[in-house]
Structure 1
Amino acid sequence: MSVVKILFCLLLTYHLNEGKKIKGNKAVDGEQRVVLRLNQPYVSSSVFRMFLEGEDNCTLDPLQLHTLTSCGFNSSNPIIIITHGWSLDGMMESWVLRLATTLKTNLIDVNVVITDWLSLANTHYPTAAQSTRTIGKDIAHLLQALQVHYQYPVRKVHLIGYSLGAHICGFAGSYLEGSEKIGRITGLDPAGPLFEGMSPTDRLSPDDAEFVDAIHTFTQKHLGLSLGIKQAVAHYDFYPNGGDFQPGCDLHSIYDHISQYGLLGFEQTVKCAHERSVHLFIDSVLNKDKQSMAYRCRDKRAFDKGVCLDCRKHRCNTLGYDIQKVRSGSGKRLFLNTRSHMPYKLYHYQFRIQFVNQMEGIEPSLTISLTGTKEESGDIPIIVTETISGNKTHTFLITLDRDLGDLMLLKLHWEGSVLWKNMWNRLQNFIPWGGRERKPLLTLGKISVKAGETQERTSFCALTNDGQRVEVSQDEVFVRCKDDTPKQHRRKLCRFRE
């Protein structure tokens, strides 16, 4: 895993050292921020192509309006503009056509346009990064042509940018003339190098559109660099699997990538985590019945404890195309876990267990299994990272690739360590009369499981009267408490109320 990421970072470092560094922090100074005016001659550095179907596209020219009509532009439909990032080989990456095809096929009544800026993207990284302002102006000029000649409202525009393309979209929003803003910008793992830590005018920011969302998938630093930006840049910033790296993208997955992509398999492994943001977005369009839900949280550590599965006051949202566009005064960081392949959705559960009057400090190894009205979970190991003693409630995050339905039964197993078992067996030999009372017990209080996607919390009660006292290597069964009946109407609480 580390070898692949280090190779990519070495390549990026080479380009950073060889290229000309961006000077200063004033991204949009008085001269640069002059808005574009259509009565001035303007030469675009980008090529815009209207995506039709398959691999067919039609080149647009903002200065020749008949190309819009001949390419099938429909001013009644919204427009989505896809912008790629830095290019190593000067070729359009395969995900661009896949995303365009997915949008056109599934949304149908939409104009899909691809921004081709390969002539500037296929340069040293710092030069390409500096060119993001130029390409942003190109997009702004296209949108203003639509405004003037078609009375097309830019609030119907959705810009989707990957890596450097995300910042291009931000600059496009800042260069637009007039008070009306672009409707939505989606940043797919916005580029980190030369943008991390910069002011909002120097990168994608919430000010660039009416609504901005970003998906961060590769923020892990190597050699002082991170391909994706770690800082929040949107109204909603999503951090799948913590945002630093993604499952299925390590070196062990290279054989799967080679079997799928042939000789390009190694390249696919290198850019896997960075490009995962694109495929998560594609997944949100293809799998409408498996929308990934994310939850607002302080950081990944708190999320992994399972304490953030709350949807009150817009604390959760859907990742991808169908996000609920709710603006607030401050941006929100949201976390979720995903699978390593499509469909990426996982179901999140919070497991809470109370230990009562635990006099001896222990670190138990617990396994639980859940049974619902739809599915069974199978055995789920619970990793206790701290010593249990006294009266304390512990919470854990559980993720499953299937919806269990209404939870009805929970089985808990306490497995002592091999060392503990050996010590206990020796103690029994020395004190054969010790009996059952001398054997250590876990005394349990309240047990509950909360489903993040439905916001339903289920309380469990022991099946037998002495079920709250669990012995080592013993299975104990708990059932839904009698006064805790399923509430079917709560299954959609995680959706926002309009």
Structure 2
Amino acid sequence: MIHWIALILSASIITSEALECHNFTKLPITDSITGTELVVRLLLYTDKNSRCASLINATHTSPLDVKKKTVFIIHGYRPFGSPPNWLMKVIETLQMVDNINLIIVDWNRGATTINYPVAVANTKKVAAILEPVIDNIQKNGGSLKLIHMIGVSLGAHVSGFVGSMFGGKIGRITGLDPAGPLFRGKGKADRLDASDAQFVDVLHTDIDALGYRDILGHIDYYANGGTDQPGCPATILSGKKYMVCDHQRSVYLYINSMVAPCNITVYPCESYTEFLDARCTQCDPTLPIFGYHLNKWINSSSVMKYPNKVFFQTSPEEPFCMYYYLLDIIPWNKNARRGYITIKLTGDNGMVVKSKDNHSAKYFERFKEVTLLVSVDKDLENITSISLTYSSAKVVEHKLTLGILRLRLRSLSYPTRPHVCRYDVALERDKEVTFQPFECQVQEMP
């Protein structure tokens, strides 16, 4: 009788352990003042436990399927001890779009401190703890090619340190706005670098504050130039959100890339200014996309074919999609003009969109074509009207008109769509002019 009771209790304990769900460490704000000793916990999600994380370690990786891709998510600095506000969203979205082993690297104990240099010093220690875990995956038949490390801020550099330990043979590292403070100016051994994996892609969203400005990967994406992100507070009056919004936007852009209704196409360019001036908007279907599904492009293209610095824009809110047009203008004024043009487009459903103020002041010289980048946050398949407003770059100037011999609007996002044209348009200074375009004649198509 006692023997059977012991077996039942033993089975109950095993079942209880098997069903136990482990959560990301949550710490009180007092720990940020006193500091925390480094503890790394690995939370594993698979198709068998998609909502209930199990704990694994360097000697216990058997719950994961080594034949599948393994994705590590590594967070960054946690000054207040709370879990990242994007954590559950990235877990749910990744599992929805891909059948993977998902490992959340919880090093909140070690990242929670008001002493940022301490957290920085812990990054290499975290990498050292992850090394035997990946070794064990290999011993069980796993491949380094099937490992994808996604690091946020300090986590991006942790990923780089791990990749370096394996001689750059890990399949892919994604750095989401890698931390800049205490890493700027460091050598390759002390930060994320393109040599740390077979492919390294990096997204920059806060290069003028918490992020890293320079190139770190095979492809470095600069969203909205890598600085101020649309929809983020513009002043410090918004408190904490002002400090972290641009930095955290990298994670939300990346999560959204997994499920967004648009493919965010990017454009290789030397600078964001050149991109805004429409000097890097060549129509090439082999240009890279942005985000988690980049593997589709990696497998079909040569990375070295393109510069590794690329740019794109986003809207202020999810799904962050932007749609691009090029507006070609041929002026006819005898005397040159210098100024700006504001653009609004109306679709056949009555939707009106206004282009972002992309360009600097332009010189409009007689019969010399000027091309402007038009970026809007809604896709207008059929444009029924165009509204233009010309403003002079000179503060004091007599009332004048910008005469347009011909304008042509062509979709950059959908190059096969018909171009629309209009002739003999006169724009009085600071007055909006609205007109209906028509499909360009065949001979004017490029």
Q: Could you say whether these structures have the same fold, taking a TM-score greater than 0.5 normalized by the shorter chain as the test? A: yes
What code does the residue aligned with 1:276 have? R
Letter in 2 for 1:403: D
Matched, 1:272 2:264: no
- 294, 297, 303: which one aligns with 1:328: 303
What is the match of residue 50 of structure 1? 44
Distance in 2 of aligned mates of 1:114 and 1:471: 57
Kept in 2, the 8 Å contact 1:55–1:97? The answer is: no
For the 8 Å contact 1:366–1:412, the answer to whether it is kept is: no
For 1:82, the equivalent position in structure 2 comes to 73
On the 8 A contact 2:390/2:402 being kept in 1, the answer is no
Evaluate the alpha carbon distance shift between residue 299 and residue 375 of structure 1 in structure 2; reply closer, same or farther with a 3 A threshold.
Answer: farther
Counterpart of 2:127, as a letter, is: G
* Aligned residue type for 1:211: F
State yes or no: 1:318 paired with 2:277.
Answer: no
AA aligned to 1:60 is I
- Look up the equivalent residue of 1:404 and give its one-letter code: L
Q: Distance in 2 between matches of 1:249 and 1:471?
A: 34
Distance 1:355 1:113, change over 3 A: same
Q: Measure, in 1, the Cα distance between the counterparts of 2:156 and 2:255.
A: 16
Report the CA distance between 1:241 and its aligned residue: 0.7
Task: Give the structure 1 partner of residue 376 of structure 2.
Answer: 400
Cross-structure match for 1:283: 256
Tell me how far apart the structure 1 counterparts of residues 248 and 354 of structure 2 sit (CA, whole Å).
33
Task: Quote the Cα distance in structure 1 between the aligned partners of 2:89 and 2:387.
Answer: 45
Aligned equivalents of 1:460, 1:402: Cα separation in 2: 18
For residue 86 of structure 2, give the secondary structure of its aligned residue in structure 1.
helix
The answer to whether structure 1 residue 309 and structure 2 residue 281 are counterparts is: yes
> Do the aligned partners of residues 392 and 156 (structure 1) sit closer, same or farther apart at CA in structure 2, a change above 3 Å counting?
same
Q: Which of 407, 424, 427 is the equivalent residue of 1:447?
A: 407
Is contact 1:95–1:278 with CA below 8 Å preserved after alignment? yes
Name the amino acid aligned to 1:197: G
Partner of 2:180: 192
Measured at CA, do residues 381 and 400 of structure 1 come closer, stay the same or move farther in structure 2, by a change above 3 Å?
closer
Structure 1 residues 413 and 243 mapped into 2: Cα distance closer, same or farther (>3 Å)?
closer
Superposed displacement of residue 117, structure 1:
1.7
Quick check: 1:298 aligned with 2:274?
no
> CA-to-partner distance for each residue in 1:31-61, whole Å, 9 max, x for gaps?
xxxxxxxxxxxxx952211135676311102
Give the aligned residue type for 2:169.
K
- Measured against aligned partners, the alpha-carbon deviations of 1:288-321 in whole angstroms (never above 9, x if no partner) come to x22222211111111111222225384x322111
Which residue in 2 is equivalent to 1:217? 205
Superposed CA RMSD: 3.5
Q: Following superposition of structure 1 onto structure 2, how do residues 97-108 of structure 1 map, counting pairs within 5 Å?
A: 97-107=88-98
Q: In the alignment, which residue of structure 1 is the partner of 2:189?
A: 201
Structure 1 residues 172-191: aligned runs within 5 Å? 172-176=162-166, 181-191=169-179
**Secondary structure, in 3 states, of the residue corresponding to 2:274?**
helix
Q: Is the 8 A contact 1:161 1:188 kept in 2?
A: yes
How much has 1:363 moved relative to structure 2?
3.9
Whether 1:237 and 2:220 are equivalent positions in the alignment is yes
Identity of aligned residues (%): 27
CA deviation after TM superposition for structure 1 residue 81, in Å = 0.6
User: Who is 2:12 aligned against?
Assistant: none
Mapped contact 1:350–1:395 kept (Cα < 8 A):
yes
Q: Distance in 1 between matches of 2:180 and 2:82?
A: 22
TM superposition shift of 1:368: 4.2
Equivalent of residue 139 in structure 1, options 130, 142, 150: 130
2:232 corresponds to 1:249: yes
Q: Are 2:334 and 1:359 equivalent residues in the alignment?
A: yes
Deviation at 1:203, TM superposition (A): 1.2
The residue type equivalent to 1:99 in the other structure is: V
Give, in angstroms, the shift of residue 193 of structure 1.
1.1
Q: CA deviation at 1:285?
A: 1.4
1:399/1:422 CA distance change after superposition, 3 Å: closer
Q: 1:90 to 1:301 in 2, by over 3 A?
A: same
Contact 1:235 1:327 in 2 (8 A): no
Give the 3-state SS of the residue equivalent to 2:189 in structure 1: helix
- Return 5+ residue gaps in structure 1 as ranges: 1-14, 20-43, 221-225, 256-265, 425-439, 488-498
8 Å Cα contact 1:369/1:376 also seen in 2: no
Residue identity in the other structure for 1:294: V
User: Normalization by structure 1: what TM-score?
Assistant: 0.71
The whole-number CA distance in structure 1 between the counterparts of 2:417 and 2:396 is 35
| 1:53-64 equivalences in 2 (<5 Å) | 56-63=52-59
Q: Could you list the runs of 5+ residues in structure 2 that have no partner in the other structure? A: 1-32
Question: Secondary structure at 1:116's aligned position in 2?
Answer: strand
The answer for the alignment partner of 2:10 in structure 1 is none
For 2:183 and 2:136, locate their aligned partners in 1 and report how far apart those are by CA, in whole Å: 29
Report how many residues are paired. 400
Shift of residue 422, structure 1, vs aligned partner:
11
Matched with 2:109 is: 119
Query: Does the CA contact (< 8 Å) of 2:39 and 2:108 recur in 1?
Result: no
Partners of 2:280 and 2:267 in 1: CA distance = 6
Task: Report the AA paired with residue 190 of structure 1.
Answer: P
SS of equivalent to 1:271: helix
1:342 aligned to 2:342? Answer: no
2: CA distance, partners of 1:368 / 1:76: 52
Aligned partner of 1:34 in structure 2 is none
Looking at structure 2, the residues matched to 133 and 239 of structure 1 have their Cα atoms a distance apart, in angstroms, of: 26
Tell me, in whole angstroms, the C-alpha distance in 2 between the residues paired with 1:414 and 1:272. Answer: 33
Q: In the superposition, relative to structure 1, how do residues 90 and 411 fare at CA in structure 2: closer, same or farther (>3 Å)?
A: closer
Shift of 1:119: 2.4
Q: Which moved more, 1:384-393 or 1:370-379?
A: 370-379
Letter paired with 2:134: L
Give how far 1:205 is off: 1.1
Partner of 2:157: 167
Asked if structure 2 preserves the Cα contact closer than 8 Å seen for 1:368 and 1:410, the reply is no
* Contact 2:45–2:53 under 8 Å retained in 1: yes
Once the two structures are TM-superposed, the CA of residue 78 in structure 1 deviates from its matched residue by 0.9
Q: Which residue of 1 aligns with 2:84?
A: 93
Q: Is the 8 A contact 1:218 1:273 kept in 2?
A: yes
Partner Cα separation in structure 1 for residue 360 and residue 330 of structure 2: 13
How far off is 1:393 after superposition?
A: 2.3
Hey, what's the Cα distance between the residues in 2 that align with 1:384 and 1:245?
17
